[in-house]
Chains A and B, each alone.
Chain A
Amino acid sequence: MSDVKKFMYLNRRAPYGTIYAWESLEVILIGAAFDQEVSLMCMDDGVYQLVKGSDTSQSDMKNFMPTYRTLGDYGVRHMYVDKASLEARGLTQDDLIEVAWEDFETEEEVDNIVEIVDADQVAKLMAESEVVFS
Chain B
Amino acid sequence: MPIEVDGKTFETDEEGYLANINEWVPGVAGVMAAEDELELTDEHWDIINFLREYYEEYQIAPAVRVLTKAVGKKLGKDKGNSKYLYGLFPYGPGKQACRYAGLPKPTGCV
Contact = CB atoms under 8 A, between A and B. Distances in A.
Do A and B touch directly, given a CB cutoff of 8 Å in the complex? yes
Interface of A: 26, 29-30, 32-33, 62-64, 66-67, 69-70, 73-74, 102, 104
Nearest to B110: A30
Contacts of A32: 63, 65-66, 108
Interface residues of B, number: 15
Given A67-B59, A70-B60, A74-B63, A29 B70 contact: no
A73 B57 CA distance: 14
Contacts, number: 42
Nearest to B70: A73
B79 interface: no
B58 A30 contact: no
B93 interface: no
A15 to B, nearest CB: 13
Given A62-B59, A67-B60, A73-B70, 12 more contacts: A26-B107, A29-B63, A32-B65, A33-B65, A33-B108, A64-B60, A66-B57, A66-B59, A70-B66, A73-B66, A74-B63, A102-B73
